Structure 1
Amino acid sequence: MLTPRRRIVFALVWLAVLAGAAWWLGATLQVSGDLRKFMPQARTPAQRLLMDELGEGPGSRLLLMSIAGSDPATLARQSRQLQQALAANPAFQFVANGGEASLDAMPRELLPYRYLLTERYDQQPLGVEALRAALDERLQDLGSPAAAMVEPMIPSDPTLETLAVAEQLQPAGGPQQRQGVWFDKAGTSALLVAQTRAAGFDPTGQELAVGAIHAAFAAIAKGSGSQLVLTGPGAFSVEIGGRTQAEAQWIGTLDTVGLVLLLLIAYRSWKIPVLGVLPLASAGLAGLAAVALLFEGVHGITVAFGFTLIGVVQDYPIHLFSHQRPGLSPRLNARLLWPTLATGVVATCIAYVTFLFSGVDGLRQLAVFTIAGLATAALTTRLLLPALIDPAQRDFADSPRLAWLWRAIARLPRPRWTLALLALAAVAVIALRPGAFWENDLSKLTPVPPEALARDAHLRGELGAPDVRYLLAVQAGDEQAALQASEALRGRLDTLVREGALAGYDMSARYLPSEERQRMRQARLPDPLYAGAMLARATEGSPFRPEAFAPFLADLETARTAHPLRPSDLVGTPLASSVQGLLLDQGQHVTALVSLVGLSRPETLRQALQGTDAQLMDLKEASESLVTAYRGRVLGALGVAALLLALTVAIALREPRRIARVLLPMALTTLLIVAVLRLFGVELNLFHLIALILAAGLGLDYALFFDHAGDDRHDQLRTLHALIVCSLMTVLVFALLGMSSIPVLRAIGVTVTLGVVFNFVLALLVSREHVEEDAHAGP
């Protein structure tokens, strides 16, 4: 046994190692928020499209804004100022408000290509009459308030084709314009939309973008009373992150205070809370280190759920503390407890090993974290912690209160048929309770408040944003074939718009026609000789002089002879994001997407698409099928885990009666948890299933230690003391999680809290040895 001085040195060395590990992890660990890591491999085209859209698609990068609270003129001015401020920020690919800034969609070097992008001359070529009518309109413009904007454009663009193309490039079904910017239908809110460079599930990038918006608006709206509403996936992720951090702080504070008080009351020593933290901290850091070494980054859910392992690993040092007694060295105490402790650890780890073969990266991370954490906590409790424990001055088996409680428990009848009836009742509730059993809707796992979702839906409707459920997809061998295939759909889609089955649509070919379409337009442009004659005739009798339009003639000739635009020519321009978001190069093939607005009759659209290569993708259906596939894998893993766990216990205990007494409380608890959740109308999701494994691990520990106590009354009392402390600490941790507003944490918290209560009671009733001669004995 170490001297007090050496124990202090040993503890400081342990703490130094932990501090060094924490520093290394802080410098190297990358935390990811990409939910795709917790999704199974996509198998159908719709599922693959859904996964792409979730993480990298333009929809996940959109931030929607509205400014209200001032008069329309002020709102329009603030909209323009905010657009200009954000457009200069490198965090954004584009920022649009429907105003003059939309001209930026056509960079100066691409201006001659306006005659290849415009649709105005597809039916009637540019000729003398069309040009003369345009010049007459320019005369009127020069006498209007728009003269300052129009006059510089006339020499190179007398038809204002730049404005026509800019208007054409606005999102389909966009909002109304007032005072040169977008407004909602009521005319009380100015609207903007921004697309971030950071992916939707890049929390750092989204936080920077959202912070930039709020900072710019605060400077612009200072003293005006205007208010900003900001929605979109990025805004939601930032809000969720802030709320999660706030909840983690108050839950962590209450947990820490509660656990310290509980340990002080239970053991009446300030050293116990300090020593008990060492195996827990070692477990958490070991789990993170294992994930950091085996994976490129750790998912935030892995970290959040992994640290709930405190519900299991905290039990290990507590059993050591509660079984300590005078005359028994801490090392011998740990050696006596080790077979039981090791059985529980191995069985629980085996349950998580099955996740390594789930095919889901997030579950593999969770398995590695858990196995490393549990093993480290158990080994440090067995090998290191005893060296720091002072020799015991008291035996918890001598407690009069504990003895009274044990006598009361001993009077309880041993349940037999009542357990069967309880199981039958639970099965009846599970089978007969109306309502859906499984939660397949991913959106219900979001902690975004309903009012925030309602604001987002309202803004999307006002901005004419595309439906988030339905999407058309056309696959082709290359980009040009995909553009041509999507162009071929326009006639059918336009018919549906006229019939009211569809409010609008958007496709990459709106922004960048196929090379075939561009060449067709080139062939209809006048050659230099004809263009000069056309211009001379159009200016006859007008104040305009033909020689003033030399830039116009130069642009016409450039458009007529230039190589058609390709997607690669748009890199670095605002058009690039619009085209890339709807034209996906997936290596062996290219998919052209058509986003839909206001689709009211999907079946009518499916019928209209017959005979084409286009497919109507139902992303809601794809997400549900993905969740179903995921759940199937998890349930399969759970089934294998249950068999391996039972086999581990059977090998360790060998006696059928002992095996049944250990496994029965855990199995019945799992059944009761599901029944209670069903009784209260809770639809089960993935996180309920994972929490069931954690609850099963707790129940296994409780039953194993009651079995370990055997018929020794004093050992039974020490076990009772340890399990009371363990269960109270676990209930404290997970009950607070169950109060969280984050659905994932709430699901885990409620499930494990129910598991602790049921496991403790059933382990007391089923797993403990009943000693008749001690039932009425004194302390």
Structure 2
Amino acid sequence: MTATRRVILALIWLAVLVGAGVAISQRLQVSGDLRKFMPSAETPAQKLLIDELGEGPGSRLLLMAIGGDDPETLAAQSQAVAATLAADERFVLVANGADAGLDAIPERLRPYRYLLSPTLDSQPYDTDFLRGELESRVQDLGSPAAALIEPILPSDPTLETLRIAEALQPATAPQRLHGVWFDRAGKRALLAIETRAAGFDPTGQQLAVAAVQAAFDRSRGDSPATMILTGPGAFSVEIGGRTQREASLIGTVDTVGLILLLLIAYRSWRTPLFGVLPLASAGLAGLGAVALLFEGVHGITVAFGFTLIGVVQDYPIHLFSHQRAGVSPWANARAIWPTLATGVASTCIAYLTFLFSGVDGLQQLAVFTIAAFAMAALTTRFLLPGLIDPAPRDPAASPRMAALWRLAEQVPRPPMWLLAVLAVAALGTLRFAPGPFWQNDLSKLTPVQPEALAEDARLRTELGAPDVRYLLAVRGKDAEDVLRRLEALQPRLDALVADGTLAGYDSAAKVLPSVAVQRARQAKLPSADALRTSLDTAVAATPFRADAFEDFLADVETARTAKPLAPRDLAGTPLATRIGALLLEQRDHATALVSMTGLADPAKVSAALASPGVELMDLKTASESLVEAYRERVLFALGIAALLLAATVWFALRTPRRVVRVLLPMALTTLLILAVLRAFGVELTLFHLVALILAAGLGLDYALFFEHAGDDYADQLRTLHALIVCSLMTFLVFFLLGLSTIPVLRAIGVTVTLGVVCNFVLAMLISRHAVDGGANGETLGPEGPPTKTQAGGAA
């Protein structure tokens, strides 16, 4: 095939990839929901954690502080930001302590304030009560609060709306200056903002954070004020931006480095160009398979999946390095195919076990990996030979390769007893290294900077945000059942606040009483005639006109005969936001959450509130147990994968000594990686385990090709050339990944970087054959010099 035809074929291949990419992009939906990488919850606390992780109000809360100017200016800016965001559909609640809480109940629900407010529990609406309230309103109208009270006075002379608005405030609200919340120092205005998008919806949170920034910029004008924004959504946006910047930088350096490496290794501009086609095919095949089999592709699957390209790039490199004059590219591909196919099959089998993990994210990762590896191997075998130069420079003729091989031969093959000592030393390090072996605390995997976490903690304290670790869960058969249980618990909760065990608490029953309580309050409302008589008597003793409170009379009568409110009746109101945060309804049960502030003694709280269906949830313990369950599944999958991998290599090689040659470097490398990590005090995570499979795949590839070269000196030099290029490329990719500030990426990068170095060195020492068949202390090879048939027939 001429050079022109090869270029035309490459362009056709590229055009097919572009078309496939367009088709896949139209179907692909990237998700950021971390619950896809969580195992099925089993305990009530785990189920609550999973539900709250992606959808709960805690994940939607943004905390904002405005500082850097005088308090009056900051208060005005807070009001302007709150007004702008309150009109934005991307937000369901914007609280800054202003008196906008009077709008908590929309017009259609205003009469219900008499069923929601606790006034009637202790005070009848008689003449004495009404007279006292009206006298207080006269004083209010002469105070600075007149502008606030006057609009609602005709329909609400007892200010029940204000009492309900107070129930929506945090249990321990911050101080108010100039009508809005400020920190204790009085230097920063504070806002609490709840987004409509879930905390782990990266796109929704990015739009919300951008809207907050825009609202602040408009409110600031020429002021030197600055804004601080924290919370899960703000952190996810910051992490996403940082990840994108790091990925862009790492990708640029990797691309330049890889192109230079290929140009130096093969002295041809076509090699980097043609070599990228199998890699692009692999990536598109992985994305296409996941898009076809799953509703949405998780961002972690995409990110981690493309790190696997650092492995599949080895396939075209083997083809390039083994090509030489006198052998057609197709014959060359057929010759290396058995060894290549063995490595691919073994790695795919290892990931195949994740399909049975019961974790959606791991299943996606398995599908992506298997499809990508298979496509890269198949295109290298059946398409790439049609593109490459049939007579390139032969690495076997390179003096540098010959010198490197002679240098390698100077290092004697390690005897079995020395390898055993190395393995025992690694196991000893694992056993006696200080510190916990596993990292179960998800918070330590966060890439959020410590300064940002500290600022978030300060704002939560200032705003009186509830404890993020402990929640009181009250379960019942339906919403009415749990609301009654909450009302029964309320005296005990109040006692805990009184003795200082709690600083405060929020519950759904404070916002929406049970139907039973609402009906009891209805029964205490006077009839229309009785209320008018009492009101006329009370008004006569005040400056108010006799007909000033007709709206009040109408609302009370409506409330007296109305059907009690249920949670669904609050849809579209601030009350619904609070109820949605504290009352979770399912088809067959309901759970009410009581968030607590200033929890000093969890054991005392648990004992004081002990009753059927009531449990103090420790979400930190629940998350750690979830991680442990996840790890058990991954470890089980890895154990099955190791057995299947060994069986595949046995089936391919059929000779015990050859199988040992191939598997031993990989097994030792796995132990050494774990030992090095533990020796440096690294607590292992799930991501280290998943990266170990990646490293094992590399070790298998290196060992198989050293074994494939047999005792043929020219093939040994070509194999050395290919594996040096492969290992350098993979080392570059994962070394840069290991420098990332994102803990997950850093764990993968460090693990695989160690694996590249150890696998290459051990495979070269253990798996290579000596040219003379018996020199260099060979203790693991077959007896006598290995023939080309023995060493090369790897399948």
Aligned to 2:380: 381
Q: Is the 8 A contact 2:711 2:772 kept in 1?
A: no
Q: Distance in 2 between matches of 1:190 and 1:703?
A: 63
User: Is residue 466 of structure 1 aligned with residue 466 of structure 2?
Assistant: yes
Counterpart amino acid of residue 660 in structure 1: V
- In structure 1, distance between residues paired with 2:190 and 2:560: 38
Q: Return 95-104 or 38-47, whichever deviates more.
A: 95-104
The secondary structure found in structure 1 opposite 2:547 is: helix
Alpha-carbon deviation of 1:545?
A: 2.4
Shift of residue 257 of structure 1?
A: 0.2
User: Where does 1:508-523 land on structure 2 (aligned, <5 Å)?
Assistant: 508-523=508-523
Q: 1:159 Cα shift? A: 1.7
Q: Secondary structure at the match of 2:580?
A: helix
The residue number in structure 1 matching 2:449 is: 449
2:116 is aligned to: 117
Asked if 2 retains the 8 angstrom alpha-carbon contact of 1:155 and 1:551, the reply is yes
2:713 maps to which residue?
713
Name the TM-score, length of structure 1 as normaliser: 0.98
CA distance in 1, matches of 2:31, 2:613: 37
> d(CA) in 2 for partners of 1:410 and 1:5?
43
Q: How much has 1:120 moved relative to structure 2?
A: 2.8
1:453-481 Cα distance to aligned partner (Å, 9 max, x none) = 11111111111111111111111111111
Residue in 1 that maps onto 2:607: 607
Q: Which moved more, 1:547-556 or 1:762-771?
A: 547-556
Question: Equivalents in 1 of 2:654, 2:718: separation in Å?
Answer: 24
Distance 1:242 1:392 in 2: 46
Deviation of the 1:174 alpha carbon: 1.8
Query: 1:568 is matched with which residue?
Result: 568
SS of equivalent to 1:547: coil
Aligned to 1:322: 321
The aligned residue for residue 182 of structure 1 is 181
**Aligned-partner SS, 2:549:** helix
Counterparts of residues 153-232 of structure 1 (less than 5 Å): 153-232=152-231
Structural RMSD (CA)? 1.3
Structure 2 distance, partners of 1:192, 1:432, is 49
Q: Which residue in 2 is equivalent to 1:598? A: 598
Shift of 1:160: 1.8
| Paired residues of 2:325 and 2:394 also in contact (CA < 8 A) | yes
1:629-665 superposed Cα distances (whole Å, 9 cap, x missing partner) = 0000000000000000000001100111110010000
Tell me by how many angstroms 1:773 deviates: 8.0
Deviation at 1:534, TM superposition (A): 1.3
Distance in 1 of aligned mates of 2:159 and 2:43: 46
3-state SS of 2:150 partner:
helix
Q: SS in structure 2 opposite 1:182?
A: strand
- Matched position secondary structure for 1:359: coil
The correspondence of residues 42-441 of structure 1 with structure 2, limited to 5 A, is 42-416=41-415, 417-441=417-441
Separation of aligned partners in 2, 1:383 and 1:168: 70
Query: 2:696 matched to which residue of 1?
Result: 696
| Worse overlay, 432-441 or 605-614 | 605-614
The residue type paired with residue 229 of structure 1 is I
1:737, distance to aligned residue in structure 2 (A): 0.3
Deviates more, 1:502-511 or 1:764-773: 764-773
The residue that corresponds to 2:751 in the other structure is 751
TM-score (structure 2 length as normaliser): 0.96
Q: 2 CA distance for matches of 1:352 and 1:536? A: 81
Take 2:660 and 2:559, find their aligned partners in 1: how far apart are those partners? 84
Which residue does 2:786 correspond to in 1? none
Q: Quote the offset at 1:227 in angstroms.
A: 1.1
Aligned with 2:144: secondary structure?
Answer: coil
Q: Distance in 2 between matches of 1:109 and 1:182?
A: 29
Range with bigger deviation, 90-99 or 530-539: 530-539
SS in 2 for 1:564: coil
Is contact 2:168-2:578 (8 Å) kept? no
Q: 1:121 aligns to what SS in structure 2?
A: helix
Q: Is the 8 A contact 1:483 1:514 kept in 2?
A: yes
Return the offset for 1:775.
7.8
One-letter code aligned to 1:747: A
- Structure 2 residue 9 is the aligned partner of structure 1 residue 10: yes
Alpha-carbon shift at residue 164 of structure 1 (Å): 2.0
CA distance in 1, matches of 2:410, 2:165: 84
Q: What residue is the counterpart of 2:500 in the other structure?
A: 500
Determine the C-alpha separation between the residues in 2 that align with 1:589 and 1:146: 44
Q: Does 1:637 align with 2:608?
A: no
Contact 1:713 1:774 (C-alpha < 8 Å) held by counterparts: no
Alpha-carbon shift at residue 439 of structure 1 (Å) = 0.8
Q: Deviations over 1:50-77 (max 9, x none)?
A: 0000011111111111111111111111
The percent identity for this pair of structures is 68
Distance 1:309 1:422 in 2: 29
Secondary structure of 2:228's counterpart equals strand
Task: Report the CA distance between 1:774 and its aligned residue.
Answer: 10
Q: Contact between 2:29 and 2:297, CA under 8 Å: does it hold in 1?
A: yes
Which secondary structure does the structure 2 equivalent of 1:126 belong to? coil
Q: 1:111 to 1:773 in 2, by over 3 A?
A: closer
**Alpha-carbon distance, 1:127 to partner:** 2.5
Q: Structure 1 counterpart of 2:167, which letter?
A: Q
**Partners of 2:179 and 2:539 in 1: how far apart?**
30
Q: What is the CA deviation profile of residues 344-387 of structure 1, one whole-angstrom value per residue up to 9, with x for unaligned ones?
A: 00000000000000000000000000000000000000000000
Letter in 2 for 1:553: L
User: In 1, are the aligned partners of 2:95 and 2:191 still within 8 Å (CA)?
Assistant: yes
Change (3 A) 1:773 1:590: closer
8 Å CA contact retained: 2:351, 2:369: yes
Q: Classify the secondary structure of the residue corresponding to 1:532.
A: helix
Question: Which amino acid in structure 2 is aligned with residue 116 of structure 1?
Answer: L
Q: Do 2:172 and 2:503's aligned partners in 1 also have CA atoms closer than 8 Å?
A: yes
Q: Any conservation in 1 of the 2:125–2:531 contact (CA below 8 Å)?
A: no
CA deviations 1:424-459 (Å, max 9, x no partner) are: 111111000110111101111111111111111111
Distance 2:471 2:669 in 1: 44
Aligned residue-pair number: 775
Q: Which residue of 1 aligns with 2:681?
A: 681
Shift of 1:612: 3.9
Cα deviation 1:313-336 (Å, max 9, x = unaligned): 110010111111111111100000
- Alignment deviations for residues 199-248 of structure 1 (CA, whole Å, 9 cap, x no partner): 12211111111110000110111211111111111111111111111111
Query: Which secondary structure does the structure 2 equivalent of 1:489 belong to?
Result: helix
Whether the 8 Å contact between 2:266 and 2:393 is mirrored in structure 1 is no
Which digits, 9 at most, give the CA deviation of each residue in 1:466-504, with x for residues without a partner?
111111111111111111111111111111111111111
CA contact (8 A) 1:473 1:594 kept: yes
Which secondary structure does the structure 1 equivalent of 2:616 belong to? strand
Q: Structure 1 residues 774, 74: closer, same or farther in 2, change over 3 A? A: same
Judge which range, 479-488 or 727-736, deviates more. Answer: 479-488
Give, in angstroms, the shift of residue 696 of structure 1: 0.1
Give 1:756 shift.
0.3
Distance in 2 of aligned mates of 1:175 and 1:390 = 74
Return closer, same or farther for 1:435/1:241 CA change in 2, 3 Å cut-off.
same
State the one-letter code of the partner of 2:99. Answer: E
Q: Which amino acid aligns with 1:209?
A: A
1:556 matched to 2:556:
yes
Give structure 1 stretches of 5+ with no counterpart. none
Unaligned runs of 5+ in 2: 777-795
- Give the match's secondary structure for 2:572: coil
Deviates more, 1:616-625 or 1:101-110: 101-110
- What letter matches 2:221 in structure 1? K
Cα deviation, residue 423, structure 1: 0.9
